[in-house]
């Protein structure tokens, strides 16, 4: 396995390769990332994983605690990726990625990037789309793998690819959860054991909505919001029911008639956690 830290090393290594799968990450890898690598390994001759904590997608462009406190563990991550069968790890420094400081030209994600997560984290998806566009240009993957855990990110990247004509196929990968139901996340490392217990209300509420949709019961979204808002140790950021492709609010509260996506974000202690579930109507 090659670990490239400069763009030149990366581009040179990829020059004559065919069928490339790209797995973009910010490191602090867990089973969720491993399942992306597994999917990429099954469908491509060459698998490239990137590890880069992108300052552009953090509020204040990296000048914030979430960016500074983001777990960084490159050696451990490289070992995990090697074992998972990755061919090339791209782990550039911020200087390498953005020589001369912040870019002047960005990808702008408009309305799809400014709702939901984008409302709580202004500019986040412009930062994501910009770094992903750069990775697509450097790696030129045939396929790129993104977790359904970040459902809005998948929708934004699909629009990036469609709107800017990137010749890459976007492959979404299902959410991987721990045994207790909490979606795997690098930020879970920052939860104490009591925080983690408090956080479990999030998958429980989503699971309950899934159950209601499947059994044809009214969803009662307001009750779900109240359960999160009143839960010990938890602050509700948002819980919304939206169209899975456009992320437009569906405004359903009764019995579900069409497929839908429920997206939610909560704060537990210092950590902001997101989760989502696709709902399918009772048949």
**Does residue 37 contact residue 23 with C-beta atoms inside 8 Å?**
yes
Q: Please state, in angstroms and rounded to a whole number, the distance separating the CA atoms of residues 271 and 155.
A: 24
Q: Select which of 16, 33, 198, 282 is catalytic.
A: 33
Q: Interface with ligand AMP by CB under 6 A: which range of 26-34, 96-104, 197-205, 211-219? A: 26-34
Residue 84: CA count within 13 A, CB half-sphere: 28
Query: Structure tokens of 24?
Result: 């973009």
Q: Please state, in angstroms and rounded to a whole number, the distance separating the CA atoms of residues 60 and 270.
A: 17
Quick one: 267 exposed, middle or buried, by C-beta within 10 A (0-12, 13-18, 19+)?
middle
- Give least dist CB 36 to ligand AMP, A: 5
Size of the site for ligand AMP (CB under 6 A): 17
Least Cα distance to 139 among 75, 47, 57 occurs for 47
Is 180 annotated as contributing to ligand binding? Answer: no
Determine, following the binding rule CB under 6 A, whether residue 186 of this chain makes contact with ligand AMP.
yes
Catalytic annotation present for 198: no
Which contiguous run of DSSP H or E holds residue 79? helix 74-83
Quick one: 8 exposed, middle or buried, by C-beta within 10 A (0-12, 13-18, 19+)?
exposed
- Give least dist CB 39 to ligand AMP, A: 10
Determine, following the binding rule CB under 6 A, whether residue 263 of this chain makes contact with ligand AMP.
no
- Give least dist CB 15 to ligand AMP, A: 26
Q: Please state, in angstroms and rounded to a whole number, the distance separating the CA atoms of residues 97 and 165.
A: 22
Q: Considering the complex, state which of residue 147 and residue 203 has its C-beta at the smaller distance from ligand AMP.
A: 147
- Give least dist CB 183 to ligand AMP, A: 5
Is 187 annotated as contributing to ligand binding? Answer: yes
By CB under 6 A, name the one of 121, 149, 159, 212 that touches ligand AMP: 149
Q: Interface with ligand AMP by CB under 6 A: which range of 144-152, 194-202, 213-221, 257-265? A: 144-152
Length of the chain: 283
Is 196 annotated as contributing to ligand binding? Answer: no
By CB under 6 A, name the one of 26, 116, 138, 199 that touches ligand AMP: 26
By CB under 6 A, name the one of 62, 92, 147, 244 that touches ligand AMP: 147
Question: Which residues are documented as binding site for beta-alanine?
Answer: 57
Question: Which residues are documented as binding site for (R)-pantoate?
Answer: 57, 153
Which residues are catalytically annotated? Answer: 33
């Amino acid at each position: 396995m090659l670990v490239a830290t400069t763009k030149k090393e990366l581009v040179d290594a990829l020059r004559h390769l065919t069928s490339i799968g790209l797995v973009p990450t910010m490191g602090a890898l867990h089973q969720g990332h491993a399942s992306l690598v597994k999917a990429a390994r099954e469908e491509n001759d060459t698998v490239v994983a990137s590890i880069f904590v992108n300052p552009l997608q953090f509020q204040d462009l990296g000048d914030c605690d979430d960016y500074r406190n983001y777990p960084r563990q490159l050696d451990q991550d490289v070992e995990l990726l090697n074992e998972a069968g990755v061919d090339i790890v791209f782990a550039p420094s911020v200087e390498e990625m953005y020589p001369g400081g912040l870019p002047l030209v960005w990808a702008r994600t408009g309305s799809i990037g400014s709702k939901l997560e984008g409302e709580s984290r202004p500019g986040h998806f412009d930062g994501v789309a910009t770094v992903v566009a750069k990775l697509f240009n450097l790696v030129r993957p045939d396929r790129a793998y993104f977790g359904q855990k970040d459902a809005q990110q998948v929708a934004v990247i699909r629009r990036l690819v469609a709107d800017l004509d990137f010749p890459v196929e976007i492959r979404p990968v299902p959410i991987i959860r721990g045994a207790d139901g909490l979606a795997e996340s690098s930020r879970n490392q920052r939860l104490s054991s009591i925080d983690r217990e408090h956080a479990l209300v999030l998958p429980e509420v989503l699971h309950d909505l899934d159950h209601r949709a499947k059994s044809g019961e009214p969803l009662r979204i307001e009750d779900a919001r109240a359960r999160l808002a009143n839960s010990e140790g938890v602050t509700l950021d948002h819980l919304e029911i939206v169209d899975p492709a456009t992320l437009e609010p569906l405004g359903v509260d009764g019995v579900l008639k069409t497929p839908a996506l429920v997206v939610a974000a909560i704060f537990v202690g210092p950590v902001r956690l997101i989760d989502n579930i696709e709902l399918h109507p009772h048949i």
